[in-house]
Amino acid sequence: MKFKYTILILSIMFITACTISNSSTHTVQPSYDNHQSGKTPSATKVISPTPINKYPEKSKNVVNLQPSPQDLSTSPIKLTEATVTKIVDGDTIYVRIKDKSHKIRLVGINCPEFTKEIEFYGKESTEFTKNQLLNKKVYLEMDVSDKDQYGRLLRYIWLDIPTDINEKEIRTKLFNAILVINGFARAGYYPPDLKYTEYLKDFQQEAKHSKLGLWSSQSKK
């Protein structure tokens, strides 16, 4: 009888062991795409699209590379702003400065007459000055003398504010020089107002060599 109980207990233990073994064998393991490499899979990185700014912020460091031509503080010389209101002849004009009229004689040059006396190339000189200056804004520079014996202001006429005082600026912006360069005026010698005399004399030689204006073959010299 004891032997039968022993057989029964052993049978129960064997059945229990088999049940536990089957349970562990059927445990489901998670599946990974890279299980063969033995590495733990990393999570997929999601990149959010960068939003487009339809109204980009304007740069705060924008620099205006072209200073206003009306800013007299940029000038290397003392200038007075004026507006030309009337042309008398090639080297004599009227300007308005702060609502006051002034008669100006361009200093350092002499244009042929076109008033009481008519001289060769006087008409052309007067027309050139009229076309270039009438109703235009100009900048006046005084040399040494303020006025001549007739009460006219003696001035150099700048078409634009010079950035420096050199031949290029004088040649292209100083109207007194432009008249001489193109043969509409002679370079003069009028002490003590001699600031640009040497430039004007050189420009006159250029005009003579090129036979421009009053130096043309028709001139009586």
CATH topology of domain 72-215: OB fold (Dihydrolipoamide Acetyltransferase, E2P) (2.40.50)
Q: Which of 109, 76, 78 is nearest to 93 (CA)?
A: 109
Instruction: List the catalytic residues.
Output: 105, 113, 152
Domain boundaries, the chain: 72-215
Instruction: Give me the helices (H) in 37-155, please.
Output: 122-133
Single pTM value for the model: 0.68
Q: Which residue has the higher pLDDT, 56 or 160?
A: 160
Which contiguous run of DSSP H or E holds residue 106?
strand 100-106
Burial of 158 (0-12, 13-18, 19+ CB in 10 A): buried
Residue with tokens 């004088």: 170
Residues sharing a CB contact under 8 Å with residue 153, sequence separation 6 or more, in sequence order:
102, 103, 104, 105, 140, 142, 146, 147
Q: Which residue has the higher pLDDT, 135 or 40?
A: 135
Q: Residue 56 forms beta bridges with which residues?
A: none
Tens-digit pLDDT profile for residues 84-93: 999 999 999 9
What pLDDT score was predicted for residue 217?
74
| CA 11/CA 62 separation, integer angstroms | 95
Q: Which of 67, 102, 96, 77 is nearest to 173 (CA)?
A: 77
Mean pLDDT rounded to a whole number for the chain: 80
Q: Residue 110 forms beta bridges with which residues?
A: 186
pLDDT of residue 180 exceeding 90, the answer is: yes
Task: Answer whether 84's CB lies under 8 Å from 93's CB.
Answer: yes
Phi and psi for 81 in degrees, rounded to 5? -80, 140
